[in-house]
Amino acid sequence: MNYHFDWTPIWAARGLIAEGLTMTTAVSAAALAFSTLVGLVIGGAATADSRAMRGLALAFTETMRNIPLLIHMYIWYMALAFLRLPAFTCAVLGLSFYSGAYVAEVVRAGIGAVGRGQMLAALATGLTRLQAMRLIVYPQALRIIAPSLASLFSQLIKDSSLASVIAVAELTYQAGAIEGQTFRTFEVYITISLIYLVLVTAVSQLVLLIPGSRSEAAAGRFADA
């Protein structure tokens, strides 16, 4: 192996790396918020009494999950180009609908775990279905799925790397840019993957701090997003 290691250009480019890191965090955080929203809505629909609602929810999750994330992003970026959404928004939307389908599954299970009895008790006190969901069921479900959401954040950080393909200047994109300038191919990509590793590990460790998180079980849930 006659590769000469030279890490100084990487250090010199730390500004770009920091920008990329900021963008990665921004994309992931925005996607986390939006996919949680999507997941809550669809997951709620999946436990509705109406068969049509449940059918629609199922169709949504099956479709969104079986389309590759890359295609999701391209759809927003190219097929829906008339909307003139900036690349950042396209990436967030693509990520959110894809991950939202997975969150929906978790939410559905979470609502199921809350138990029908809670809904019945709420209705018995005169609340409407909607009120019961909002005040009684959802809050409990949220507490149950909180650990899974933290794992989802982990997964989103990794998935956000695909945003580089539609020219969002996040971490992977910057890696390519730095490589183009410095030709330190190995150093750049190893550095980037170590940064991802640290990010993802940090988030996973934070999961364990959430009271009542059944760590491995929850963490494993999103490994197949």
Partner 1 sequence: MPDVILKNLPFLLHGLWMTLNLSVWSIVLGTLLGLVVGLVRFVRLPVLNTLALVYIEFIRGTPLLVVLFITYFALPALFDYHTTAYRAAIFGFVMFIGAYLAEDFRSGLRAIRPTLIQAGLATGLTRWQVLRYIILPQAVRRVVPSLFNQYVRLVKFTSVASVIGVTELTGAGLLVNAREFHPVTILATLAIVYLLLCSVLSLAGRTLYARFAVRT
What is the binding site for partner 1 (CB under 8 A)? 1-3, 62-63, 65-71, 74-75, 78-79, 81, 158-162, 164-165, 172, 175-176, 179, 185-186, 188-190, 192-193, 196-201, 223-224
- On whether the CB atoms of residues 159 and 225 are closer than 8 A, the answer is yes
State the nearest-atom distance from the C-beta of 131 to partner 1, in Å: 37
Question: CB under 8 Å to 47, separation ≥6 — which residues?
Answer: 54, 108, 111, 112
Amino acid at 200: V
State the nearest-atom distance from the C-beta of 152 to partner 1, in Å: 15
Is the Cβ of residue 11 or residue 131 nearer to partner 1 in the bound state?
A: 11
State the nearest-atom distance from the C-beta of 104 to partner 1, in Å: 16
Backbone region of residue 42 per phi and psi (left: phi > 0; alpha: psi in -120 to 50; beta: other values): alpha
Longest Cα–Cα distance of the chain, Å, equals 77
Question: CB under 8 Å to 150, separation ≥6 — which residues?
Answer: 203, 204, 206, 207, 210, 213, 218
State the nearest-atom distance from the C-beta of 103 to partner 1, in Å: 17
Look up residue 137 and give its two tokens: 């069921």
Is the Cβ of residue 24 or residue 47 nearer to partner 1 in the bound state?
A: 24
DSSP 225: -
Residue with tokens 């929203």: 37
State the nearest-atom distance from the C-beta of 42 to partner 1, in Å: 17
Considering just the CA atoms, what is the radius of gyration of the chain in Å?
21
Is the Cβ of residue 92 or residue 159 nearer to partner 1 in the bound state?
A: 159
Is the Cβ of residue 121 or residue 198 nearer to partner 1 in the bound state?
A: 198
State the nearest-atom distance from the C-beta of 127 to partner 1, in Å: 38
Alpha-carbon distance 72 to 162, whole Å? 10
Is the Cβ of residue 99 or residue 114 nearer to partner 1 in the bound state?
A: 99
Is the Cβ of residue 145 or residue 170 nearer to partner 1 in the bound state?
A: 170
